[in-house]
Amino acid sequence: MSKIKISAKLGLLLLIGFSTIATIDSDHNKYFEISKNIEIFTNLYKEVNTYYVDDLDPGQLMRTGVDAMLESLDPYTNYISETEIEGFRYITDGKYNGIGAMIRKIDDYVTITEPYDNCPAQKAGLKAGDVILAVDGKSAKGKSTDDVSAILKGFPGTEVELTIKRPGEAQDKKIMLVRDEVIVPNVPYSGMISDDVGYVALTTFTRNAGKNVGEAIKKLKADNPSMKGVVFDLRGNGGGLLTEAVNVSNVFIPKGEMVVTTKGKVADWDRSFKTLNKSIDEQIPLVVLINKGSASASEIVSGVIQDLDRGVLIGQRSYGKGLVQNTRDVGYNSKVKMTTAKYYVPSGRCIQGVSYEGGEPIDIPDSLRTSFKSRNGRVVLDGGGVKPDIAVKEDLDIPIIKDLLRKYMIFEFATDFALKNEKIASIADFKFTNFDDFAAFLQKREFQYETKSEKVLENLKKISTKEGFKETFKADIKSLEDKIAIEKKNELYDNKVAITSLIEKEIISRYYYQKGRIQIGLRNDLEIKEALEVIKDQAKYKSLLKTQ
């Protein structure tokens, strides 16, 4: 063997050796850093708990540190304490032990916003609008929604006493509730929205989501043999179980299709998920509705439907969560839910937003998104959510509507309405026609809102004063203020149709609960109208799914 070959082999062995040593050294340094910082953290925690000037709650102090650490990673990596396990159970199973009501903090107190039908809260007589003053005799003033929710959850059969203030009633009420297992359906409504088009709403990807969607479709087909299309509503669906995203996709696409691939740091955890069962219907025209509240598993399903050209997407760009979370036990019946991978839909794209602001993904312009191809060769984009095939402007983006919702004006008007009306017409027949009453309610409540133009104008006034131009711009600024005031005065009635639809949904939920809210919301729904037109016009439907 020549000296050159021996030298080459020796060089290669040395290179491998140095590389291995470097890797071992790198790993050693990493583990040393981990060990060192754990020791520093432990010592710091002990010193602060022992010598800090005020008494501390050791658990709360540690929780603050853990939350801050995980918050620096992404919005979806969270610590789940023992007291929060029931909430986690709801996310995965669609059920939990508690009273069965949605709650939200309004001003100083947590308020019941929607009791679930046939659950302990509704059976005990709690109503939307009831303000929780105390729980088991302890004041709830200043408590967060999470604080109150943790107390309301508990083992079935146990009791909890609420002291509530009901709007319109002078005396506070004490109501005793018996906790029970609360099951929230993931398909709260399905039905026909025209003579030949069916509709299915999926609100969360909890267990059996695929089975329930499939059964809803089968029932619609059996009851309506002439059904020519389906509208599948994923708006506001924040996701859930990845396996259920595969099962839901399988309702509309054949067995053996690749749905999603996950890739992360730990290569052994990388997985590919294909459909495992025979589909319910691979041919029926399909429209999927999405909006910025459609996230995670919703984006897998909508991305798959788009990538495989199986249906048309209508609405607004989805949230942009292309990450997979898994849970790990960390002791004392607590868990950490952490991001372990990114997921990729059939075209190869990942729709994850790349940066966040205030916990929300920052919008990414199309020009900065990478192009991929659907099965038919259509251009689809990665990053920042799934872009619909037909975009429809959302009413909730209108400034006055945003403020009406943010200040709970529609919610409180519906509470007032329900106090005055013991019964209303059926869901199909109910119509809210007293818009002037709503306008008077806003005036009585002294409702005010600030537009972006007013904020800019106020900033201009401050700058012009600071720079000595106050008198120079005074007349111009006054003219702009007057014009804005006129526009604001008309804005309420200019958006009468959209606001009326929101009022109807809020009122109907007081009598017919979530099912009623969804059903009546379809009446003036712009996305539903667009979906019906697309399904009716099959030439347009097919053209949207062809190479552009």
Q: Which helix (H) or strand (E) holds 161?
A: strand 159-165
Where do the DSSP E strands lie in 312-449? 312-315, 323-331, 334-344, 356-357, 360-361, 371-373, 379-381, 390-391
What pLDDT score was predicted for residue 435?
Answer: 95
- Mean pLDDT to the nearest integer, 335-355: 89
For residue range 282-329, list pLDDT tens digits in order.
999 999 999 999 999 999 999 999 999 999 999 999 999 998 888 888
For residue range 514-538, list pLDDT tens digits in order.
999 999 999 889 999 999 999 999 9
Task: List the structure tokens of 480.
Answer: 């702009």
For residue range 61-86, list pLDDT tens digits in order.
988 999 999 888 878 888 988 777 76
Q: Angle 299-302-304 (CA atoms, 0-180°, nearest 5)?
A: 100
pLDDT above 70 for 357: no
Tokens 């639809």 label which residue? 501
272 Rama class: left (phi>0) / alpha (psi -120 to 50) / beta: beta
Q: Are 137 and 159 in contact (CB under 8 A)?
A: no
pLDDT above 60 for 240: yes
Q: Are 410 and 441 in contact (CB under 8 A)?
A: no
For residue range 86-118, list pLDDT tens digits in order.
666 666 667 788 999 999 999 999 999 999 999
Interhelix angle 470-494/435-444, rounded to 10 degrees, is 140
- Mean pLDDT to the nearest integer, 370-389: 94
Q: What SS3 state is found at 207?
A: coil
For residue range 200-232, list pLDDT tens digits in order.
999 999 999 999 999 999 999 999 999 999 999
Residues acting as catalytic residues: 296, 307, 321
Whole-angstrom distance, CA of residue 231 vs CA of residue 194: 11
For residue range 183-201, list pLDDT tens digits in order.
889 999 999 999 999 999 9
What secondary structure, in 3-state letters, does 345-364 show? CCCCCCCCCCCEECCEECCC
Name, of 28-32, 335-339, 475-479, the range with top average pLDDT: 335-339
Query: pLDDT band at 382, cuts 50/70/90?
Result: very high
- Mean pLDDT to the nearest integer, 56-60: 89
What pLDDT score was predicted for residue 231?
Answer: 98
How would you class 258 by CB atoms within 10 Å of its CB: exposed for 0-12, middle for 13-18, buried for 19 or more?
A: middle
What pLDDT score was predicted for residue 25?
Answer: 60
CB neighbourhood size of 189 (10 A): 20
Query: pLDDT band at 160, cuts 50/70/90?
Result: very high
What pLDDT score was predicted for residue 178?
Answer: 96
- Mean pLDDT to the nearest integer, 128-147: 94
Q: What SS3 state is found at 11?
A: helix
- Mean pLDDT to the nearest integer, 339-350: 94
Mean pLDDT of the chain: 89
Name, of 239-243, 252-256, 325-329, 479-483, the range with top average pLDDT: 252-256
What pLDDT score was predicted for residue 27?
Answer: 64
Q: Which of 185, 187, 189, 200 is nearest to 531 (CA)?
A: 200
- Residues facing residue 288 across a β-bridge: 232, 313
Query: pLDDT band at 16, cuts 50/70/90?
Result: low
Whole-angstrom distance, CA of residue 16 vs CA of residue 11: 9
- Mean pLDDT to the nearest integer, 369-396: 92
What pLDDT score was predicted for residue 433?
Answer: 95
Query: Please, what sign has the CA dihedral across residues 24, 25, 30, 33?
Result: positive
For residue range 402-418, list pLDDT tens digits in order.
999 999 999 999 999 99
- Mean pLDDT to the nearest integer, 159-167: 96
pTM of the model: 0.82
What pLDDT score was predicted for residue 112?
Answer: 97
- Mean pLDDT to the nearest integer, 1-29: 55
* Cβ-count burial 305-330 (b if 16+ within 10 Å, e if not): bbbbbbbbbbbbbbbbbbbbbeeeee
CB neighbourhood size of 162 (10 A): 25
Q: Which residues contact 399 (CB under 8 A, 6 or more apart)?
A: 449, 451, 452, 491
Whole-angstrom distance, CA of residue 4 vs CA of residue 505: 83
Report residue 105 CA to chain centroid gap: 18
Whole-angstrom distance, CA of residue 225 vs CA of residue 207: 29
Element counts in the chain: helices (H) and strands (E): 16, 23
- Mean pLDDT to the nearest integer, 13-38: 67
- Mean pLDDT to the nearest integer, 371-376: 96
pLDDT above 70 for 389: yes
What pLDDT score was predicted for residue 294?
Answer: 95
Residue type, 258: M
State what percent of residues in the chain have pLDDT above 90: 62
* Phi and psi torsions of 525, nearest 5°: -80, 115
For residue range 444-457, list pLDDT tens digits in order.
999 988 777 788 88
- Mean pLDDT to the nearest integer, 233-250: 95
What pLDDT score was predicted for residue 476?
Answer: 82
* Phi and psi torsions of 357, nearest 5°: -145, 115
What pLDDT score was predicted for residue 17?
Answer: 56
What pLDDT score was predicted for residue 453?
Answer: 79
Task: List the structure tokens of 53.
Answer: 């000037």
pLDDT above 70 for 383: yes
Query: pLDDT band at 2, cuts 50/70/90?
Result: low
pLDDT above 90 for 469: no
Q: Which residues contact 205 (CB under 8 A, 6 or more apart)?
A: 186, 237, 239, 240, 241, 244, 245, 248, 296, 297, 298
What pLDDT score was predicted for residue 355?
Answer: 66
| Of 7 and 40, more confident | 40
